[in-house]
Structure formats: C-alpha cells, structure tokens
Amino acid sequence: MKGFLLPGIFAALLFIAIPACAQESDPFLVTEPTKPSAGGEVTGTAECFNLINKAPYTVYGSINTNYFTRDDGIKTRHKSNFRLESAGAAEFCTFGPFFEGRKVELVLRTLVPIFDCKTAITGDIVIHGRRKEEGGTETYATCL
C-alpha cells in the first residue's frame, strides 16, 4: 500500500506544478487584455431610445446589436429580450456595435419571429398591431 500511495502523491504534485511553470514560460501567453473586434461602430456613450407598444395585446421580442468577436475568438452580439404589455413602453440603451447607419435589429416574435427590421435609434420605435377578424394578429413596428 505504501508503494502505491507515495508514487500517487508524487504524480499529483507533478501535474499541479507543471501547468504553473508552463504558463510562466509560454511565449504565446497574452498578458494584456485586447478589445473585442466589432463588426460595426461602437460609441463612447450610451445611445438610448424608447420602444412603445400600441398593439392591444402583449408583444414579445428582442433588440440585437451587430456581431463582434470576443477576446477568446467567439463571434457574438448583445441581445436584450423584452415583453411589453399593451400600451407599455421601455427604454433601451446601447453602446453598439451598430449596424451601418447606427442601427440595431428589432425582432418581434410569438414562438417564432414574426417581424424583424434594422432601425435607427434616433427616436421612438412604435409597435403596432391588430386582431384579425378571421383569428390571429398582425404585428409590426415603424422602423426608422
């Protein structure tokens, strides 16, 4: 039993010590953080806008920015999901990255997307909707 215990402890210490040494001597180790690579314009101050629901029912959706590449190489984007009651409003703020023309993507959905557009954020974005006589709804937004 002693013969097995001592080599096991030695091996465990060896595996713990090797990664620490390798990190110190690795010439490819990046020690300074890098900024994400943005696919569009990024502002120094937050850009804010209002989303207003004028539909006679609750509306679900999301506001999405343009894609950017994180420091670890993963391509992603910022996404803010919302739920707006009838006659509800919400303020959104973002630094970007924006799509061309300083725009964000607006997606309205039920279980699946039913409307999407790229809209400027220079004013209020209004969601409209109506109930159809034959059943269902028609939902859209006034994109800028």
**Number of structural domains found in the chain:** 1
Please give the pLDDT value at position 136: 93
Side-chain-facing half-sphere of 52: CA atoms under 13 Å: 10
Does 57 reside within a domain?
yes
Give the mean pLDDT of the chain: 82
- Between 51 and 26, residue with greater pLDDT: 51
Contact assessment for residue 52 and residue 23, using Cβ atoms and an 8 Å cutoff:
no
The runs of H, that is alpha helices, within the chain are 2-25
Does 96 reside within a domain?
yes
What token pair was written down for 77? 């984007």
Domain with 107, as residue range(s), is: 37-142
Interval 66-79: pLDDT, tens: 999 999 999 999 99
Across 25-29, 34-38, 54-58, 129-133, least confident range: 25-29
What token pair was written down for 15? 């595996």
Q: Give the residue from 107, 104, 126, 124 showing the smallest Cα distance to 115.
A: 107
Interval 76-97: pLDDT, tens: 999 999 999 999 999 999 999 9
